């Protein structure tokens, strides 16, 4: 029946103390109108609230362990009502003990009708106290549960993003090392250029500790990557990057364009009738940053026979969805003799 639940002690005590203190002047005023006795009214007002404070601490010890689950509201309501009645009986008995201990004429003047009426009022107070406490506790418990779920979701998302990024870097590294191996025998001097470009590219990759970075930093890494590929393919690869200087500081997901450039080179070289023409472009339209990679050649549908893992586009699409939400998009189009992949994300003018 009972389950350890959420209890915000720091919130409970100010409300508990403040609430009972606020009842003292109200009780004194009501008793003063009924008895016309200042001494009796002050005694009744203070002593009843002291008893009430102590009795509700007993209720608190019980209620603080409750977590009302769906379907159990009626059951807990009945129990809370019974506890409110029990609290009222304890309240009356406690007050009578105080009256007997004081044993003054002031106390003896208390009319029986006022005692009965006060008992009914006390029952209402304990009922309201129970409702307010349980409602607030349930609200705080639900909020804490939602916060835990949100934190768990963020942790899962971050773990997934880190996994996706871990898939990317080895993918690029594998291709770059193949390029170095291919050039080692025929062009030893070119290996230095390739290695230097690869070193700069890896330095960029190792600096990425967050999910977002400046667009200009990735464009510089893309240029290093393209210089590595140019050393291998020479006149078979021509490329250009067009971007306004003001857009280089835009805040974008890391590795936004790298997988697109990699795919464009890999598949474009297979399908371009002549040299591969590669165009990387960045523009801003309607508060969206539009980044695209366009290459000559034709689109190749993924197949089981292809040795490519095809993780690039799926990886990028998933990361953009996680990081940028609904406004983001990834579009693939096939202009005559070309393949264009476009990514749109909300435009953030400065990098963190």
- Per-residue pLDDT at 2 exceeds 50: no
- Statement to judge: residues 191 and 334 lie in one domain: yes
- Report pTM: 0.52
- Statement to judge: residues 143 and 192 lie in one domain: no
Domain for residue 306, yes or no? yes
Q: pLDDT confidence of 304, banded at 50, 70, 90?
A: low
Contact 253, 323 (CB under 8 A): yes
- Statement to judge: residues 233 and 313 lie in one domain: yes
Q: Which residue has the higher pLDDT, 37 or 333?
A: 333
What is the predicted pLDDT for the residue at 343? 94
Residues above pLDDT 90, as percent of the chain? 23
Residues above pLDDT 70, as percent of the chain? 78
- For residue 274, the domain's CATH number is 3.30.565.10
- Per-residue pLDDT at 106 exceeds 70: no
- Statement to judge: residues 138 and 207 lie in one domain: no
Domain for residue 161, yes or no? no
Q: Taking residues 246-267, what's their average pLDDT?
A: 87
What is the predicted pLDDT for the residue at 102? 74
Domain for residue 95, yes or no? yes
Domain for residue 169, yes or no? no
Q: Which residue has the higher pLDDT, 145 or 90?
A: 90
- Per-residue pLDDT at 154 exceeds 70: no
Structural domain of 121 = 9-149
Give the Cα separation of 229 and 223 in Å (integer): 10
Domain edge (last residue) among 122, 149, 176: 149
What is the predicted pLDDT for the residue at 281? 95
Three-state DSSP state, 339: strand
What is the predicted pLDDT for the residue at 4? 38
- Statement to judge: residues 196 and 334 lie in one domain: yes
In Å, how far from its chain's centre is CA 132? 29
- Statement to judge: residues 145 and 221 lie in one domain: no
Q: Which residue has the higher pLDDT, 266 or 240?
A: 240
Domain edge (last residue) among 96, 127, 149: 149
The closest of 51, 38, 22 to 119, measured between CA atoms, is: 51
- Statement to judge: residues 136 and 250 lie in one domain: no
Contact 280, 222 (CB under 8 A): yes
- Statement to judge: residues 145 and 205 lie in one domain: no
- Statement to judge: residues 316 and 244 lie in one domain: yes
Q: Taking residues 146-170, what's their average pLDDT?
A: 59
- Statement to judge: residues 124 and 228 lie in one domain: no
Domain for residue 331, yes or no? yes
Residue recorded with tokens 């309501």: 77
Stretch among 129-133, 201-205, 263-267 having the lowest mean pLDDT: 201-205
Domain for residue 165, yes or no? no
- Per-residue pLDDT at 42 exceeds 70: yes
C-alpha dist (Å) from residue 80 to 66, 74, 87, 141, 351? 11, 10, 10, 18, 55
Q: Which residue has the higher pLDDT, 99 or 45?
A: 45
186: Cβ contacts below 8 Å, ≥ 6 apart: none
When divided into structural domains, the chain yields a total of: 2
Q: Taking residues 245-268, what's their average pLDDT?
A: 87
Q: Taking residues 303-320, what's their average pLDDT?
A: 66
CA dihedral 318, 320, 325, 327 (to 10 degrees): -120
- Statement to judge: residues 135 and 220 lie in one domain: no
Render pLDDT for 194-221 as a digit per residue (tens, 0 to 9): 788 778 777 776 666 667 888 998 898 8
Domain for residue 296, yes or no? yes
Domain for residue 263, yes or no? yes
């Amino acid at each position: 029946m009972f389950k350890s639940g959420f209890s915000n002690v720091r919130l409970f005590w100010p409300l508990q103390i403040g609430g009972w203190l606020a009842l003292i002047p109200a009780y004194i005023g009501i008793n003063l109108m009924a008895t016309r006795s200042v001494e009796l009214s002050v005694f009744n007002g203070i002593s009843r609230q002291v008893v009430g404070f102590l009795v509700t601490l007993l209720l608190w010890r019980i209620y603080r362990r409750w977590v009302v689950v769906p379907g159990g509201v009626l059951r807990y309501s009945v129990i809370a009502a019974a506890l409110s009645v029990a609290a009222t009986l304890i309240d009356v008995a406690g007050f009578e003990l105080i009256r007997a201990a004081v044993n003054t004429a002031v106390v003896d003047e208390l009319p029986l009708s006022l005692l009965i009426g006060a008992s009914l009022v006390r029952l209402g107070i304990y009922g309201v106290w129970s409702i307010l406490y349980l409602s607030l506790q349930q609200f705080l418990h639900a909020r804490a549960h939602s916060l835990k779920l949100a934190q768990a979701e963020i942790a899962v998302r971050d773990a997934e993003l880190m996994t996706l990024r871990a898939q990317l870097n080895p993918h690029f590294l594998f291709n770059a090392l193949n390029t170095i191996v291919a050039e080692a025998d025929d062009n030893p001097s070119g290996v230095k250029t390739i290695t230097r470009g690869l070193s700069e590219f890896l330095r960029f990759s190792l600096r990425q500790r967050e999910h977002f970075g400046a667009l200009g930093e990735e464009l510089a890494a893309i240029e290093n990557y393209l210089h590595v590929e140019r050393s291998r393919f020479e006149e078979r690869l021509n490329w250009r990057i067009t971007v306004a200087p003001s857009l280089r500081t835009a805040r974008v997901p890391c590795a936004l364009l790298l997988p697109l450039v990699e795919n464009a080179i890999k598949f474009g070289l297979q399908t371009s009738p002549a040299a591969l023409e590669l165009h990387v472009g960045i523009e801003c339209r309607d508060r969206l940053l539009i980044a695209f990679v366009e290459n000559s050649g034709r689109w190749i549908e993924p197949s089981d026979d292809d040795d490519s893992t095809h993780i690039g586009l799926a990886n990028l699409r998933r990361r953009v969805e996680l990081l940028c939400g609904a406004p983001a998009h990834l579009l693939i189009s096939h202009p005559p003799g070309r393949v264009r992949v476009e990514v749109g994300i909300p435009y953030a003018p400065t990098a963190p």
